[in-house]
Amino acid sequence: PVPVWLDCDPGHDDTFAILLAAYHPGLKLLNISTVHGNASLDKTTNNALSVLAAIGKQHEVTVYPGAAHALERAPIHAPTDIHGESGLDGTELLPRPQTAADRSVSAVDAMAAALRATEPGTAFLVATGGLTNVGALFLKHPDLAAHIRGLSIMGGSIGGGFTPAVLGKVDGKERIGNYTPWAEFNILIDPEAAASLFENLVLAAKTTLIPLDLTHLVLATQEVNELLLYGPDAGVKEGRGKTDLRVMLVELLNFFAGTYRDAFGIVEGPPLHDPLAVAIALIGTEWEIPFYDFDPKSTAGERRHERFHVKVETEGSLEDALKGAKTGQTVATLLASGKEGVRIPRGLDIAMFWKVIEECVSRADEV
């Protein structure tokens, strides 16, 4: 299995990232670090421990609390109308933590030691929160950029030629960000950390970015809820499938659906951003979920693996950004064919993705 370290801020969608990383047979979850973001660091750490308890992995996976604020900025937490007061509202079935976080070493050093202990060129680092811990990791341990196989980041928004994120319009123009018209939340909360990753060319060539343009194609619809609640045996619903874990996960999705409906007017279901970044670690294995790396509007003959240079806008404060500055925007420039750079998938096999998620729920249910 591919060794994976998950850095996250649970978070409704982070919960599914943890589930996928912990229960996919093609992945070996090394451990988890937490970061400020969807809520304060204390809350995201608490939530990570609770999720591990809910899925029966609390004794196998350790949680290391990381940064409580950005490298150079005060903390920004997601508005409570997205993930609720706790960062993971919407269900009574989430257990309290059954284990404690490990505070004997810093998250950055725990991550470095775990990654360094893997065979060179095998491990994936997956980031589904603000990039403070991951930025600090490569600043302190720069050799790890050459050591790992890949870095996968849920963050950013590209817009333009990409499948547009369905986030409405501002002054008649397409809105590409979620937190501000230009910026996606994970990048905006620590743009300096994000910029330091994309400026590291050794790392950028191994980085996959999963922006809103992609995550907004993967909505947890009513049909998905049914699959997760009852399992794949469509039609035989009475007394089948439905367990406390399945109910809890669907209650979390329903809460997330409500916030996306109210905040963004998205009625089909909420985008399940974070587990897509975990799924990237399966690429090149027998478990690969097909992601495609070309403009869907190109003709079959023109289709090629696109790579990008990504620049993060670091100018401006949060206040500036809320008034319209482009702080936290990810600007992606297509590189000439054959050049190394950041991978930004344009699409994927969505049905297969949900099937894989359901299989992980099913495995967790057997524990």
Q: Name the site residues for ligand BDR (rule: CB under 6 A).
A: 11, 13-14, 38, 78, 82, 128, 154, 178, 184-186, 273-274
Where on the phi/psi map is residue 35: left (φ > 0), alpha (ψ -120 to 50), or beta? beta
Q: Which is nearer to ligand BDR, 106 or 128 (CB)?
A: 128
Q: Find the shortest distance in angstroms from Cβ 333 to ligand BDR.
A: 22
At residue 312, what are phi and psi to the nearest 5 degrees? -105, 130
Q: Among 69, 273, 305, 309, which one carries the catalytic annotation?
A: 273
**Contact between 14 and Ca ion (CB under 5 A)?**
yes
Tokens standing for residue 39: 């809520």
**Residues 264 to 323 in contact with Ca ion, rule: CB under 5 A:** 274
Active site residue 273: yes
Of 159, 185, 169, 171, the C-alpha closest to 344 is 159
Q: Find the shortest distance in angstroms from Cβ 19 to Ca ion.
A: 13
Per partner kind, with CB cut-offs from 5 to 8 A, the member of Ca ion, ligand BDR, none near residue 78 is ligand BDR
Q: Which is nearer to ligand BDR, 190 or 230 (CB)?
A: 190
CA distance 77 to 94: 21
Site track for Ca ion across 110-149, x = CB under 5 A: ------------------xx--------------------
CA distance 301 to 282: 27
Task: Name the segment binding Ca ion (CB under 5 A); options: 2-10, 41-49, 248-256, 292-300.
Answer: 2-10
Q: Which is nearer to ligand BDR, 41 or 230 (CB)?
A: 41
Q: Find the shortest distance in angstroms from Cβ 14 to Ca ion.
A: 4
CA distance 330 to 328: 6
Per partner kind, with CB cut-offs from 5 to 8 A, the member of Ca ion, ligand BDR, none near residue 159 is none
At residue 151, what are phi and psi to the nearest 5 degrees? -120, 130
Per partner kind, with CB cut-offs from 5 to 8 A, the member of ligand BDR, Ca ion, none near residue 178 is ligand BDR
Site track for Ca ion across 69-108, x = CB under 5 A: ----------------------------------------
**Contact between 11 and Ca ion (CB under 5 A)?**
yes
Where on the phi/psi map is residue 172: left (φ > 0), alpha (ψ -120 to 50), or beta? left
Per partner kind, with CB cut-offs from 5 to 8 A, the member of Ca ion, ligand BDR, none near residue 185 is ligand BDR
Per partner kind, with CB cut-offs from 5 to 8 A, the member of Ca ion, ligand BDR, none near residue 58 is none
Q: Find the shortest distance in angstroms from Cβ 38 to ligand BDR.
A: 5
**Residues 236 to 275 in contact with Ca ion, rule: CB under 5 A:** 274
At residue 170, what are phi and psi to the nearest 5 degrees? -125, 125
Q: Which is nearer to ligand BDR, 110 or 278 (CB)?
A: 278
Residue ranges binding Ca ion (CB under 5 A): 9, 11, 14, 128-129, 274
Active site residues: 273
